[in-house]
Every structure is written in C-alpha cells, then in structure tokens.
Amino acid sequence: MSDVRKVIITCAVTGSIHTPSMSPHLPVTATEIAEAAIGAAEAGAAVVHLHARNPVTGEPDQLPELFQPFLGVIKQRVDAVLNITTGGAATMTLDQRLAPAMLFKPEVASLNMGSMNFGLYPMLDRFKDLKHDWERTYLEGSRGRIFRNTFEDIETVLRRCADNGTRFEIECYDIGHLYTCAHFVERGLIKPPIFIQSVFGILGGIGPHAEDVMHMRRTANRLFGDDYHWSVLGAGRHQMPIAMQSVLMGGNVRVGIEDSIWAGKGRLAASNAEQVTIARRMIEELGMEVATPADARRMLNLKGGDQVGF
C-alpha cells in the first residue's frame, strides 16, 4: 500500500454567491450543472458540492425538483461523492434549505456552524452590468442581511438528518465556528471523523491572510486532534494560494465556481474542471496523490453511493 498522502478535492460547482452575469461559465440549468459536476469528477474531484438554480433567471433555488434532474445524471456517469447543500442562500428559510437533503439522503451535506454577516455587496463595484433584477437586489441586500445559523438551526439539521446516515461538510467561516462544532461533538450530535471545511475571505468571516489559515488549523488541531479531516476554501482570487497552503499543512482543498470564478489573474475559469485540474496538478507536483471517491468514502466514513435516495 502506498504511504503517499492522499488529498481530497471537493468541487463546488455553482453555489449561491456568484450570479450569472458575472461569468458566462457559471452552470445554471440542470444539464449545465450535471455536465459541470461530471467534468469536475473526471478531472479529479472526489466530492462534488451541489446547489440548484432557477433555470430561467439563474437565481439560487432549493426546490427539490430542481435537484432531481442533475443528481441522477451525475450518479449514473461518475462515482463521486455527491454533497447537497443545507446552506442554500441567506434569503431562504431553514425548511427550504433542508428540503433537498431530507428527500435525497446524500452521503454528505454541508452544514454552516454559525450566524454571520455575509457581505456580498462589494461585488457591485466590480460587476456593473447585471442582467437580472434579482442580482442587484440580492447583492445589495447583503448589507443588512444576516445569514442565520443558530444553535437551534444547527441542531435541527443534525437531528433531522440523523436517520439518513448523512455525514456533514462542516463549514466554518470563523474561529468561533470551530468551537460551535466542538460543542456539538461533545453532545454526540457530530461524530468523528469530522470533515471541517474552513472558509476564508468572505466579508464578515475570517480573512484570507496566511496567518488566518494557520490560526484556523492550530485551533482545529487543538479541539479535534486526530478526529478530523481539514479542508479549505478561499474565496475569489484567494482560492489557489489558500489551497496550496492547506496542502502544505496536511489538509485538503475545495475549489469550484461557487467559491471563485477565476482561473488566474484576470482570467475567468472556463469550467469547474479547469479549477480542479489546477488543484490536481499542484497536489501531484508537491508529491502527493489526489484521493479517489473510494478513498474519500473511507477517510470520511461515508455510507456509500448505493445508500442515497436518488
């Protein structure tokens, strides 16, 4: 057996942060989302993190019937772990956010560890020509909007998904979120191995400085010891530098057009697969291996793709 360290690449293919006017390569329809996810998996992503969009306007949408068409196609074409968001968007209710994960019982679902200011409005200074009315309203509205994830909300997600065998991508946007995760671990509602996804560079959360990344890692090490796998995502232009830092510090990486629409300075990523390819090349050139879906299932103790509800 090889003793070379394996690195999990997660790809977040569409998300709720960027809008269709920002990049012509943002997947919106079910067909586009499926093809983006399949391309990312074929490029080396072991885990694919999935949101849905209104196919006409591109607005983030958690209606389960919008997930169904692409979940089945992706599952048929590739063996990647499919990870359904429970974050949705800050404009949605908890029941709306939870509906797809409750119905489809995925191997992994994302789970945010705290309420926060989630400032998207600076994007309005960079992207002037927005096509849809909802885009400007959505971005501008983040000045006064709180992304709600209370202790009660988090416990609700954990308890409702408990019987589904779904495990979680624990999204931590700040140091306090790690302590919230530790609280639920102590109560037995989150069980090891814990998959911590540390998020850097969102206005309202921890910054993207290398010291911020190290602070997150040190704190997670102290709280969780050997009971967790660490991954990072850097927002926007910080995506790849933070990914490299994580790999060098023994962690995993998340890339994808949900988090960054770029593939280099001033150059839009043509696809999610392009970002995965960049991450894969970096990992392999540093002497490590990219984890396969089977590796990820073993590392994260997942139930298997044959146990989902789609």
CATH number of the domain residue 101 falls in: 3.20.20.70
pLDDT per position in the chain (310 positions), as tens? 568 999 999 999 999 999 999 999 999 999 999 999 999 999 999 999 999 999 999 999 999 999 999 999 999 999 999 999 999 999 999 999 999 999 999 999 999 999 999 999 999 999 999 999 999 999 999 999 999 999 999 999 999 999 999 999 999 999 999 999 999 999 999 999 999 999 999 999 999 999 999 999 999 999 999 999 999 999 999 999 999 999 999 999 999 999 999 999 999 999 999 999 999 999 999 999 999 999 999 999 999 999 999 9
CB 97 within 8 A of CB 67: no
Does residue 303 fall inside a structural domain?
A: yes
Look up residue 191 and give its two tokens. Answer: 């069980």
Q: What is the 8-class DSSP label of residue 53?
A: B
Q: Is residue 81 part of a domain?
A: yes
Q: Report d(CA 131, CA 212) in Å as an integer.
A: 36
**Contact between residue 9 and residue 45 where contact means Cβ atoms under 8 Å apart:** yes
User: What is the Cα–Cα distance from 180 to 30, expressed in whole angstroms?
Assistant: 35
H/E stretch holding 6:
strand 6-7
| Residue range of the domain that includes 118 | 6-307
Does a structural domain hold residue 186? yes
CA distance 127 to 46: 32
Cβ proximity of 48 and 37 under 8 Å: yes
- pTM, two decimals, is 0.97
Return the H-helix or E-strand segment holding 293: helix 293-300
Q: Is 121 helix (H, G, I), strand (E, B) or coil?
A: coil
In a 13 Å sphere around the CA of 262, the CA atoms on its Cβ side amount to: 12
- Calculate the dihedral angle through the C-alpha atoms of 77, 80, 84, 87, rounding to the nearest 10 degrees: -130
Report the C-alpha dihedral over residues 38, 273, 292, 12, rounded to 10 degrees: -80
Helix (H, G, I), strand (E, B) or coil at 27: coil
How many structural domains are present in the chain? Answer: 1
In 10 A of CB 76, how many CB atoms? 9
In a domain, 1, yes or no: no
Q: What H or E segment, with its residue span, contains residue 200?
A: strand 194-200
DSSP label of 123:
H
Residue with tokens 């309420």: 115
- Tokens representing residue 12 in the block: 């977040």
The DSSP H or E segment spanning 31 is helix 30-43
